[in-house]
Amino acid sequence: MVKVHLKLKSSQNSIVVCKDNLSKKRRSWTIQEDEAIKDLVHQIGTQQWAIVADRLNSMFDLPGRTGKQCRERWHNHLNPCVNKQAWSLDEEFLLFQSHLSLGNKWAEISKLLPGRTDNSIKNHFYSSLKRQYRKLNGMDGTREELKQCDEFLTSCIVSSILKRIKQKQNKIHEVEAEDNLASASTTEYGNFTPIGEDFDLIDYANYENQFCQEEEMYEEAWDFKDEMLMMPFEIFEN
**Whether 60 and 101 share a structural domain:** no
Residue 194 lies in a domain: no
Q: Could you say which of 78, 104, 139 is where a domain stops?
A: 78
Residue 175 lies in a domain: no
- Look at the chain and report how many structural domains it folds into: 3
pLDDT, position 226: 53
pLDDT tens for each residue of the chain, 238 residues long: 444 444 445 545 554 445 455 444 568 899 999 999 999 999 999 999 999 999 999 998 777 899 999 999 998 899 999 998 999 999 999 999 999 999 999 999 999 999 999 999 999 999 999 999 999 999 999 989 998 999 999 999 999 999 999 998 898 888 888 888 877 766 655 554 554 444 344 444 454 455 455 555 545 555 545 555 455 545 445 5
pLDDT, position 233: 47
**Whether 94 and 153 share a structural domain:** yes
d(CA 113, CA 93): 11
Q: Could you say which of 54, 78, 102 is where a domain stops?
A: 78
Q: Structural domain of residue 118, as residue ranges?
A: 89-169
pLDDT, position 84: 87
**Whether 74 and 7 share a structural domain:** yes
Q: Could you say which of 169, 192, 215 is where a domain stops?
A: 169
pTM: 0.57
